[in-house]
Amino acid sequence: MEITCDNEYKARNIRGFCHLYDGQEAVATGINAAFEKEDSWITSYRCHCIALARGGNVSAILAELFGNAGGMTKGKGGSMHFYSKENNFFGGQGIVGAQVPVGTGLAFANKYNAKPGEKMNVAIACYGDGAANQGQIWESANMASLWKLPMIFCIENNGFGMGTSIERHSSHSDYYKMGNHIPGLRIDGMNVLAVKEGMRFVKEWCGSGNGPMYVEMMTYRYHGHSMSDPGTTYRNREDIALTRSTRDPLEFVKKTLIEAGFAEAEDIKAIEKDIRKMVQSEVQKAKEFPDVELSQLFDYIYAADINGGKQAMPDHIRMPDFAKSFWKS
């Protein structure tokens, strides 16, 4: 799916920002395998695959990237703002680190709504190494620790922020230790089995009333920071090729299945062929959804008026001239 996003962006069918996730798939897949649907999840703008793991489908994800009405957020969020309340997925966040206070609020809600004597549902906020020193994260961690919230601070450490290596932008690069007295765990983020087992332990710890935990996923992104970044000015192609050949999360799964006798190489090739065919079919379906109607521009922004559910425009809001004509109509 992400390779398809890459191609569709280069064909100019996807516009704006686009941050791809391939190379980091084991993180989202492993976390999701360890979690219950009732656990809350919020992440950064690198969110397509987490949206997919958390119950989305390829056509709705691609439709959102194309900006049409069939998208996961009705074509209004784009690459950075996926959302699915029914799956307790509270989306991607365009502002670096801003999802973490929201995640802490979700953890507060989970503790508040927990029944006495029962384990709490946890909340997780995923963010990158480039966001790890944001002040709002420190404030959230302090609050989560004080109130013993079932909160997981998950750093997806892919080695580079927006083109800057961790050694150049952080005086403390053992991110799992950043919580000070909050316990931390470092996990191989390229190994889906390690992620699943590690997160199963973390969920049990946090959900049992022990308070928050820091988790650092050691992973790697194959692309640049976004589609506008070639990703080779601050690292060389040999580094990327070496990681692909020695640590690729998908190749690890294939090798493990074959060595354990659970599958033959031909079986996996057949599965991959079916997946490629399915993705292409879903892309075509995504392209057939209609564009978002201009009349829906302000939907989900202002409170709905009781008069037939029409959006009520507050008097103090100054509507741009271009919008007035279709709003009145």
Q: Which residues of 27-37 are buried (b: 16+ CB within 10 A; e: fewer)?
A: bbbbbbebbee
Orientation angle between helical segments 135-146 and 99-113, nearest 10 degrees? 10
Please report which confidence band the pLDDT of residue 315 belongs to, taking 50, 70 and 90 as the band edges: low
Contacts of 8 (CB under 8 A, 6+ apart): 14, 62, 65, 66, 283
Dihedral sign, Cα of residue 28, residue 33, residue 37, residue 40: negative
pLDDT tens digits, 74-83: 998 999 999 9
Q: In this structure, what are the phi and psi dihedrals at residue 167, rounded to the nearest 5 degrees?
A: -65, -25
pLDDT tens digits, 227-261: 888 888 788 888 889 888 999 999 999 999 999 99
Which range among 77-86, 121-130, 301-310 shows the weakest confidence by mean pLDDT?
301-310
Token pair of 182 as six digits: 């909050």
Check residue 329 and give its pLDDT.
Answer: 47
Please report which confidence band the pLDDT of residue 158 belongs to, taking 50, 70 and 90 as the band edges: confident
Q: In this structure, what are the phi and psi dihedrals at residue 179, rounded to the nearest 5 degrees?
A: -75, 0
Mean pLDDT of all residues in 157-171:
80
What is the pTM assigned to this prediction? 0.87
Check residue 280 and give its pLDDT.
Answer: 96
Mean of the per-residue pLDDT values of the chain: 89
Mean pLDDT of all residues in 201-214:
97
pLDDT of 172 > 80? The answer is: no
Q: CA-to-CA distance for 15 and 33, rounded, in angstroms?
A: 32
Residue 136 and residue 54 in contact, taking contact as beta carbons nearer than 8 Å = no
Please report which confidence band the pLDDT of residue 323 belongs to, taking 50, 70 and 90 as the band edges: low
For domain 2-287, the CATH architecture is 3-Layer(aba) Sandwich (3.40)
Residue 101 and residue 90 in contact, taking contact as beta carbons nearer than 8 Å = no
Q: What is the DSSP letter of 144?
A: H
Token pair of 184 as six digits: 């931390």
Q: Which residue has tokens 């958390």?
A: 54
pLDDT of 183 > 90? The answer is: yes
Please report, rounded to a whole number, the percentage of residues in the chain having pLDDT higher than 90: 67
Residue-wise DSSP of 218-281: E---SS-SSTT--S-SSS-HHHHHHHHHHH-HHHHHHHHHHHTTS--HHHHHHHHHHHHHHHHH
Orientation angle between helical segments 2-10 and 58-66, nearest 10 degrees? 20
pLDDT of 61 > 90? The answer is: yes
For residue 168, what is the enclosing H or E element? helix 166-169
Contacts of 324 (CB under 8 A, 6+ apart): none
Please report which confidence band the pLDDT of residue 135 belongs to, taking 50, 70 and 90 as the band edges: very high
Q: In this structure, what are the phi and psi dihedrals at residue 265, rounded to the nearest 5 degrees?
A: -55, -40
Check residue 19 and give its pLDDT.
Answer: 92
Check residue 252 and give its pLDDT.
Answer: 96
Check residue 228 and give its pLDDT.
Answer: 82
Give the other-Cβ count within 10 Å of 209's Cβ. Answer: 13
Check residue 309 and give its pLDDT.
Answer: 54
Q: Are strands 151-157 and 123-128 parallel, antiparallel or unpaired?
A: parallel
231 or 69: which leads in pLDDT: 69
Q: CA-to-CA distance for 275 and 18, rounded, in angstroms?
A: 22
Check residue 322 and give its pLDDT.
Answer: 54
Mean pLDDT of all residues in 23-49:
96
Mean pLDDT of all residues in 160-178:
79
Which of 62, 44, 236, 76 lies closest to 157 in space, CA to CA?
44
Mean pLDDT of all residues in 168-192:
87
Which range among 13-22, 186-195, 221-230, 297-306 shows the weakest confidence by mean pLDDT?
297-306
Q: CA-to-CA distance for 67 and 54, rounded, in angstroms?
A: 21
Domain ranges of the chain: 2-287, 294-329
Which of 2, 5, 1 lies closest to 65 in space, CA to CA?
5
Token pair of 100 as six digits: 């973490």
325 or 10: which leads in pLDDT: 10
pLDDT tens digits, 249-303: 999 999 999 999 999 999 999 999 999 999 999 999 999 999 988 887 777 776 6
Q: CA-to-CA distance for 235 and 327, rounded, in angstroms?
A: 50
Check residue 311 and give its pLDDT.
Answer: 53
Q: Which residues of 7-23 are buried (b: 16+ CB within 10 A; e: fewer)?
A: ebbeeebbeeebbbbbb
